[in-house]
Amino acid sequence: MDAPAIAATGLTMRFNGFAAVDGVDLRIEKGELFGLLGPNGAGKSTIIKMLTTMLRPSAGSAAVWGYDIKKERDAVRSSIGVVFQDPSVDSQLSGRENLDFHGRMYGMDRKTREARVAEVLELVDLTEKADVLMEDYSGGMQRRLEIARGLMHHPNVLFLDEPTLGLDAQTRRYIWRYIERMNEDEGVTVVLTTHYMEEADHLCKRVAIIDQGRIVALDTPESLKDLIGADIVTLEVDDSVTDDQVRAVSDVDGVEAADRTGSILRLSVDRSEARIPEIILSASRAGLLIRSVSMHEPTLEDVFLKFTGKKIRESESAGAGRMAAVQSRMRTRRH
């Protein structure tokens, strides 16, 4: 079997005793489009920073394209491209000039640079905007240019950290198309972090769900959703709902599981379309007031809820707290 694009064992990052990443094991195959999914502050970006040699792990080991991230840092960096969350292009240069400068940094000769600039501009549909200053690019155009820049030196692995953060839904889908295209046309292994469920579901061949610095689930999006199995029926009920009323709804044939959070009752239901009338009737008989009913097929949000006990949006505030703690410890570490 060929060596994987990325192999990590027990990868850990601590800041003054605080585990931002806690014992992560990963194997990402060559040519794969792999996603790290989780809320802000879950540890996704810290994993990327270790794999790209920006942070030295507190414990564990990892190799990228066969190169040890601790002992062969220069070889790792020559094998990868990185697009971080924060823009890092020069707004006073044109798109072409930004790409040309990047090529110079990697020692590419003029003829090679010019040919490669043309190739990556075409890949992300920016050929006609090549000589426009970056300050006049839209947010989506800037992200596309940054992706093109990450591909300039023919990397084996491209890391994309929240590649569509802050973009509107339409632009986000355009970026998805370019990510898929470069994975297929360039054959580059892509590792992306995201907290958008639909992004991970649409793009990634496999997804690792990250929570509080640990991988809690890892598989294809379809296999992860199959863990939920049944459809999800969500009932908005009266705040005074009793355990007996919940049991009355749960006892309906086809209801496989029930979970209540405040006034929201979530049911896993087999053949939900046929069961909803009976669920509503049983609730009415039990004196349970239902304000609204909705139904959907399992999503990665449901998988996250299954493994963490909370929705990814509810984890954002906790993640922000973790992030603040990490940053505080990093500042303490530097001083």
Condensed to tens digits (0 to 9), the pLDDT of residues 167-203 reads 888 989 999 999 998 899 889 999 999 999 999 999 9
Share of the chain above pLDDT 90, in %: 63
Average pLDDT in the 128-151 region?
Answer: 93
Outline which parts of the chain fall under CATH 3.40.50.300: 6-221
Residue 156: its pLDDT value, please?
96
| pTM given for the model | 0.82
Residue 320: its pLDDT value, please?
53
Residue 321: its pLDDT value, please?
53
Residue 66 vs residues 7, 29, 97, 191, 286: alpha-carbon distances, Å: 8, 12, 32, 16, 62
Is the pLDDT at 206 greater than 70? The verdict is yes
CATH number of 6-221: 3.40.50.300
Confidence class of residue 331 from pLDDT cuts 50, 70 and 90? low
Is the pLDDT at 313 greater than 70? The verdict is no
Outline which parts of the chain fall under CATH 3.30.70.100: 230-297
How many residues can be counted in the chain?
Answer: 335
CATH number of 230-297: 3.30.70.100
Is the pLDDT at 316 greater than 70? The verdict is no
Condensed to tens digits (0 to 9), the pLDDT of residues 263-297 reads 888 888 988 888 899 999 999 999 998 999 998 88
Condensed to tens digits (0 to 9), the pLDDT of residues 222-274 reads 999 988 878 899 999 888 888 898 899 999 999 988 888 888 888 889 888 88
| Closest to 11 (Cα-Cα) out of 177, 203, 214 | 214
Average pLDDT in the 139-150 region?
Answer: 92
> What whole-number distance in Å separates Cα of residue 71 and Cα of residue 16?
23
Report the chain's mean pLDDT, rounded to a whole number.
89
- Per-position b or e across 288-317, b if 16+ CB within 10 A of its CB: bebeeeeeeebbbbbbbbbebeeebeebee
Condensed to tens digits (0 to 9), the pLDDT of residues 58-83 reads 999 999 999 999 999 999 999 999 99
